[in-house]
Amino acid sequence: TQLLEQSPQFLSIQEGENLTVYCNSSSVFSSLQWYRQEPGEGPVLLVTVVTGGEVKKLKRLTFQFGDARKDSSLHITAAQPGDTGLYLCAGVLMTTDSWGKLQFGAGTQVVVTP
């Protein structure tokens, strides 16, 4: 069982549409990070959210951290083919014995067609 559950697993949309990816857990995180991975490369950090309820915007991408620090969402407005990739959420647990451990969700494969 994954510590972080991402949904949906796969998303295929047309250019110009909006999309939202969800990342949920029953655990509390000190921070939650979003990465994008393209074929043959390692994940690349998009954003880190730290404060419960925090919202961060990165051009057409909006990231939100839940008030209870257990969940997060990524919203893309007017998606473009360049947004295609595997989106991964990752959380840093707050428990004493695993301080600093970064654990990943299974990822959401996003395909944006022209």
Partner 1 sequence: DARVTQTPRHKVTEMGQEVTMRCQPILGHNTVFWYRQTMMQGLELLAYFRNRAPLDDSGMPKDRFSAEMPDATLATLKIQPSEPRDSAVYFCASGLVQNYGYTFGSGTRLTVV
**What residue ranges bind partner 1 (CB under 8 A)?**
2, 30-31, 33, 35, 40-45, 47-48, 50, 88, 92, 98, 100-107
Measured from the CB of residue 77, what is the shortest distance to partner 1 in angstroms? 23
> CB-wise, 18 or 95, nearer to partner 1?
95
Tell me how far, at minimum, the Cβ of 45 lies from partner 1, in Å. 4
Q: How far is the CB of 17 from partner 1 (least distance, A)?
A: 26
Whether the Cβ atoms of residue 55 and residue 64 lie closer than 8 Å to each other: yes
Nearer to partner 1, 11 or 47 (CB): 47
Q: Which C-beta is closer to partner 1: that of 19 or that of 93?
A: 93
Bin 93: left if φ > 0, else alpha if -120 < ψ < 50, else beta: beta
Coil, helix or strand at residue 97:
helix
Amino acid at 75: H
Burial class from Cβ neighbours inside 10 Å (0-12, 13-18, 19+) for residue 1 reads exposed
